[in-house]
Amino acid sequence: LLLTVLLLVALQSCQCLAWKPCPVVGWGAESQQVVAGYSDGTIRVFSVSRTEMELKMHPHTVALTAITYSTDGEMILSGGKDGLVAVSSPHTGMTIRILAEHKGSPITVLQCTRKEYRDFGVEGGELWLATSSDRRVSIWASDWLKDKCELLDWLSFPAPAGPEGLGGLPPSLAAFCPWEPGTLVYVGFGMQKEALFYSLRKKQVVKKISLPYFATSLSLSPAARFMAVGFSERLLRLLRCPTSDAQDYTGHDDAIHLCCFAPSGRCLLTASHSAVLLWELTGS
């Protein structure tokens, strides 16, 4: 890895970031952009090629905890510590919608994926989900050009009584399954240590995969049927789906709080408190 760009914002802590989706182009293209969410509730859009900030927005009054672009890069979805989700335009800098369904619980995940226009009986070419610390997941169908945003499903996962507050519990995490359209995967504190596959069409959990511990990070490969799960016990598990064949790896010195497959699916990035590891997937 080579550090090529350093972007600094004085007195503020970057809490989350996301690359703008764009067509496959060569490195150095002017379209390279990244959006970052900060502890003061601001969003900043940076040009990587020009190493400068292009836009600053302030849709939140509290620290951001999750951020992503829509699949076409035309909107920015951001979630805050107070559970509010904002939809903002990187072209105008205006916030066009505030969603309060998760109010009161920090947003842990925001993710968008494409869908067929009439899939699930609703209009729009995009599905997106929001996950919050209280083990709730909302799934939405959107057409931002027509100002349409419709709640498609609302999931709430049970759990035994835990310690006061949510700070000491494993995070609630969800992701769309790239190889099973209309399916999402959920991990979090619950009745069992497991990963749940939920079908949006059948409105039910269709598969469960047992885990050795409660997960602290999750990533699904966009190119193959692999799922990476990290744990606070410093363990990384790579699962092949649907067989659930598992391979465990060590190497971290603390809880693994980030797993992220590369778009090619050939590499996996994992991070703990003091280490970032790059794994290469070999064989079949």
Q: What is the spatial distance between Cα 170 and Cα 113, in angstroms, rounded to a whole number?
A: 25
Instruction: State the Cα angle at 12 between 271 and 8, rounded to 5°.
Output: 75
Buried b (16+ CB within 10 A) or exposed e, 40-52: bbbbbbbbbeeee
How high is the pLDDT of residue 211?
96
- In 3D space, the residue among 61, 62, 51, 57 whose CA is nearest the CA of residue 75 turns out to be 57
Please return the burial class of 164, using the count of CB atoms within 10 Å of its CB with bins 0-12, 13-18 and 19+: exposed
Q: What pLDDT sits at residue 30?
A: 43
Domain boundaries, the chain: 157-283
Average pLDDT, 10 consecutive residues per value, the chain (284 residues): 54 82 54 84 86 91 96 95 97 95 97 84 89 96 90 93 69 95 94 96 95 96 93 94 90 89 86 84 72
The pLDDT, as a whole number, for residue 28 is 44
Contact 36, 65 (CB under 8 A): no
The structure's pTM equals: 0.89
User: Minimal CA–CA distance to 175: which of 128, 117, 240?
Assistant: 128
pLDDT for residue 48: 75
Q: What is the pLDDT of residue 52?
A: 83
Query: Two tokens at 257?
Result: 């709080």
Q: What does the alpha-carbon distance between residue 248 and residue 40 come to, in Å, rounded to a whole number?
A: 38
Quick one: fold of 157-283?
Answer: Methylamine Dehydrogenase; Chain H (2.130.10)
Q: What distance in Å separates the CA atoms of residue 175 and residue 183, rounded to the nearest whole number?
A: 9
